[in-house]
Structure 1
Amino acid sequence: MRLHRNLCFAVIDGLTLIFNEGKYADKVIQQLLKRDKRWGSRDRGFVAETTYDIVRWKRLYSEIAEVKEPYSREDLWRVFAVWATLRGIKLPDWKYFENTPSRKIKGRFDELSKIRKFKESIPDWMDELGVKELGEAAWTKEIAALNEQADVVLRVNTLKTTKEKLQAELFDLEIDTEFIKDHPNALRLKERANVFTSDAFKNGHFEVQDASSQLVAEFLNVEPGMRVVDTCAGAGGKTLHIASLMENKGQIIALDIYANKLNELKRRAKRNGAHNIEPRHIDSTKVIKKLYDKADRVLIDAPCSGLGVLRRNPDAKWKLEPAFLDKIKITQQEILQQYSRIVKPGGQMVYATCSILPSENQNQVKTFLASEAGKDFTFVKENKVLASKTGFDGFYMALLQKK
């Protein structure tokens, strides 16, 4: 592979924003890809994947390059040189790469790869927490799986097409996909491709949604004609899936504290042809109280650490703080206590997170069931999804029934 100066500069600029200014990697990369209209898909792929790669392995590469935050541009070029050397890419004779100690880089890599927190490139506190919650062996496997690049998985919108028709439609665009066992509406791309420019996407035939995330709506046991409340709907990935499972019949109330996310859901629902979704902004407790005892099904896709989705958000490793985790666990329990009251007698509720930590998952459910609000509920079943076992995102979901 030959390195091109303008592409490498884009990567360095992106890393400066992500590491020094705390910007979100996905947003930075979106901007970078618009930088030069002459770039082809290969050029854009290089910029996006190299930036993500260096973000993912930040701690390991920084240790090898012997640099610390905040990074100067020279520091970032040194980190870039480590990335290229470890991939066997020949460094051009640019001034940034003068005196790059290639043999020393490889030696340091071998040395540091014996220590998990460097090998998997994670903060000390996260490594300690993972061991405490999952145990040494399970955490070692899980964090390795969470450092692999995520597959691109599509969820077929059955309101508009079928899995077989969509597969054929994409095949005509030279996008090859495969079915995934036990995921009835999923198609996995065999090779990465930009699916968002396709007519199939513009016509609402699919959404990009990881296979594990697709399990949540199915876990809710919805049926056409029901009244369903998605309490933390966000931009509506799972809401749209519920709409397709309900065949557009019945009512889905999509709640969120962020109005801008609900506006995005409206746009997506229109594209998907989902007509039974009613977004409601939670601007006061009245919005929730009005729904007490009214819903056949309630989904609580709770805010969480996001440790199960590090493969697609590698910068979260560096943004997450132990104090945030303590705070989010309090929020999760408050949400469970309050939103569970929306379920009507005989109805069901799913509590879900994209975390792999028992303290955010089964422990929260146990605490809820032992509380005053939880005494009306019985535990039906749970699903703990680990990236190391499935190859998809880490997720948790528990189904509870109201007496």
Structure 2
Amino acid sequence: MKLFPNTVSGVVSALNDIFEGKYYTDKVIERTFKSNPKWGARDRAFVAESVYEIVRWWRLIRELSPSGDHYHLFGTYWLLQGNHLPDWEEFQGLERTTLMERHRRIQERAVLESIPDWLDEMGEGLLGEKWEKELASLNQQADVVLRVNTLKTSRDILKQKLEEQGIQSVIPEGYPEALVLRERKNVFRTPLFKEGLFEVQDASSQLVAAFLDPQPGMRVIDACAGAGGKALHLAAMMQNKGKILAMDVESWKLKNTKLRARRAGVSIIETRPIENNKIIKRLKDSADRLLLDVPCSGLGVLRRNPDAKWKLQPETLHKVQEIQKEILQQYPLMLKPGGIMVYATCSILPTENERQVAAFLKSTAGKDFSLLEEKKVLSHESGYDGFYIAKMIKK
């Protein structure tokens, strides 16, 4: 594949923003595309894939590169992919044979799998022999998975319409509303997306709403709604009948929920920011179903958010776990007696998952709850994101 100076420059600039400016990869790529409106689909795909893969393998690439110069880092990545480098001044000093010899000498798993030492040690301590397989899986590029909006279409019809657009997909077993694309495509630009026929949502994430077992006419609270992906799924399962209260402490995220609901043809979602604990107390015993898709480390979704492993620190992980504990102590009072609550994370760590639930059930706040079912989803076993889902009933 031939390299072009303008797109390689775009990759280098993006890496500088991510690692020097400390910005998130998805936001940097979005901004890079806006700054280069003349790029075609192939250019944009090259830049996005290159940036994500370099971020994913950042530690290994830095270990192999003769310098920390971002052009050298790109060149090292390019050679590791089995490609040839053009004779550009920026790539002077890079040579495949030397690079591959360095690669052969590396023995440390944390370097080879490109992850911080502390995270590798913690993962092995918590997951044991499963950690190595999980780590390898989380370093693979994620599939693009769609969730069919059953308020507007069916999976078979959407699959056919995608094929008419030149987009091939497969039906995964065990995920009734999912389609997995055979090749990565920018589906957000298709008329099918603009018509609200689907959302992009990983297959593991699609399990969460089903665990809550929402029924038409119910009052449901999604208390950590974010941009509303799971609230939209809940609305479709409820046939757009009843009421969903989408809440979050970060009100700016809820603005996106309203836009997505309008596109999806959903009218039962009401958004409400959580400005203080009084809002929670006013909703005591008001919900038939309560979803707590809590903030977490995001270690289960490293395939699509590889920069998380470089931004995470032990102290931030501890802080996230404290937030999870606080939510479990405060939010469950919104659920009616006899109602069902789901606690979910996109993490694979027991310290954020089953241990949090066990501690809650032993606490005063959890004395009226009992665990009905839990599901631990590991990427190397499922082929999708790592997730944890616990279903509890209020006595």
Distance (whole Å) between structure 1 residues aligned to residue 75 and residue 183 of structure 2? 27
Distance (whole Å) between structure 1 residues aligned to residue 54 and residue 376 of structure 2? 30
Q: Corresponding residue for 1:310?
A: 302
CA contact (8 A) 2:289 2:340 kept: yes
3-state SS of paired residue (2:35): coil
3-state SS of paired residue (1:388): helix
3-state SS of paired residue (1:155): strand
Match of 2:231 among 222, 239, 242: 239
Match of 1:196 among 188, 193, 198: 188
Match of 1:87 among 78, 81, 84: 81
Aligned residues between the structures:
395
TM-score normalised per structure 1? 0.96
Q: Kindly, what percent of the aligned residue pairs are identical?
A: 53
Distance (whole Å) between structure 2 residues aligned to residue 313 and residue 220 of structure 1? 26
Distance (whole Å) between structure 2 residues aligned to residue 32 and residue 110 of structure 1? 35
Distance (whole Å) between structure 1 residues aligned to residue 36 and residue 207 of structure 2? 39
CA contact (8 A) 1:57 1:120 kept: yes
Task: For residue 111 of structure 1, report the CA deviation from its aligned partner.
Answer: 2.0
CA contact (8 A) 2:371 2:393 kept: yes
The answer for unaligned runs of 5 or more in structure 2 is none
Task: For residue 66 of structure 1, report the CA deviation from its aligned partner.
Answer: 4.4
3-state SS of paired residue (1:192): coil
- Aligned pairs for 1:277-316 (under 5 A) are 277-316=269-308
Tell me if 1:210 matches 2:210: no
Instruction: Name the aligned partner's letter for residue 115 of structure 1.
Output: E
3-state SS of paired residue (2:389): strand
Task: For residue 173 of structure 1, report the CA deviation from its aligned partner.
Answer: 0.4
Match of 1:369 among 361, 371, 376: 361
Task: For residue 104 of structure 1, report the CA deviation from its aligned partner.
Answer: 1.2
Instruction: Name the aligned partner's letter for residue 54 of structure 2.
Output: I
CA contact (8 A) 1:216 1:397 kept: yes
Distance (whole Å) between structure 1 residues aligned to residue 5 and residue 105 of structure 2? 31
Distance (whole Å) between structure 1 residues aligned to residue 79 and residue 321 of structure 2? 42
The answer for unaligned runs of 5 or more in structure 1 is none
Q: Corresponding residue for 2:35?
A: 35
Match of 2:246 among 239, 251, 254: 254
Match of 2:167 among 171, 175, 186: 175
CA contact (8 A) 1:2 1:89 kept: no
Distance (whole Å) between structure 2 residues aligned to residue 328 and residue 350 of structure 1? 18
Tell me if 1:111 matches 2:105: yes
Deviations 1:379-402 (A, max 9, x none): 101000000101100000000011
Tell me if 1:2 matches 2:2: yes
Deviations 1:184-215 (A, max 9, x none): 00011001111011111001100000000000
Task: For residue 138 of structure 1, report the CA deviation from its aligned partner.
Answer: 0.6
Task: For residue 347 of structure 1, report the CA deviation from its aligned partner.
Answer: 0.5
Tell me if 1:45 matches 2:45: yes
Q: Corresponding residue for 2:393?
A: 401
- Aligned pairs for 1:5-24 (under 5 A) are 5-24=5-24
CA contact (8 A) 2:296 2:347 kept: yes
The alignment's C-alpha RMSD in Å is 1.0
3-state SS of paired residue (1:211): coil
Distance (whole Å) between structure 2 residues aligned to residue 35 and residue 259 of structure 1? 28
Q: Which structure 1 residue ranges, 4+ long, deviate > 4 Å from structure 2?
A: none
TM-score normalised per structure 2? 0.98
Distance (whole Å) between structure 2 residues aligned to residue 271 and residue 317 of structure 1? 33
Distance (whole Å) between structure 1 residues aligned to residue 95 and residue 170 of structure 2? 43
Tell me if 1:122 matches 2:148: no
Deviations 1:283-328 (A, max 9, x none): 1212111111111110000000000001111111110111011111
Distance (whole Å) between structure 1 residues aligned to residue 62 and residue 289 of structure 2? 48
CA contact (8 A) 1:33 1:47 kept: no
Tell me if 1:148 matches 2:140: yes
